[in-house]
Amino acid sequence: MTTTMQEEAPAPKVMRWSWNRHAKCVALARSQLRKYLRLWEAEELTDSAVLLLSELVTNSVRHARVSPGREIETVFEVTEERLRVEVSDASNKIPVIRHIDDDEEEGRGLALVASLATRWGTAARMVNGQYSVGKTVWFEMDRKADA
């Protein structure tokens, strides 16, 4: 009798999800990112990456006031060198870092992204290689060399 071992398939290199523009999608997106980072053994990035993802998805939920049915999309990609997270929505308004007074309770999200991410930026939204309605806000975090 021959026994064969079935190897577990590796996690895909890029994970993509679409979310309805609702506050609940923030927690769901965080959960997916945590899961994905575990699968790719990139847990060292989890705390900061989940925080930054929360900021970007929350911005899309709050500020991308577009027609019902327009979804928010998240894309996660982990390589040996870095993590890249993209959050796309159907609003063409490009977010900017604002000066916030100490007593204000909101508005620090992009400043947080700029301080914790290795790189970040915005781009026109692409769907299947074609320009689409809206924008993508993305960030990258370098992986530790000894990880």
CATH of the domain at 18: 3.30.565.10
The boundaries of the domain holding residue 66 are 14-94+108-142
pLDDT digits (tens, 9 = 90+) for 72-88: 999 999 998 999 999 99
Q: Is residue 134 part of a domain?
A: yes
Q: Is residue 102 part of a domain?
A: no
C-beta atoms surrounding 81 within 10 Å = 9
Contacts 24+ apart (CB under 8 A), 112-115: 112/51, 112/52, 112/55, 113/52, 113/55, 113/56, 113/137, 113/139
- The proportion of the chain whose per-residue pLDDT surpasses 70, expressed as a percent, equals 80
Cβ atoms within 10 A of the Cβ of 76, count? 24
The model carries a pTM of: 0.83
> Do the domain assignments include residue 74?
yes
**Residue 49 lies inside a defined structural domain of this protein:** yes
How far apart, in whole angstroms, are the C-alpha atoms of residue 18 and residue 87? 10
Overall domain count for the chain: 1
Tell me, yes or no, whether 1 lies in a domain.
no
Q: Is residue 4 part of a domain?
A: no
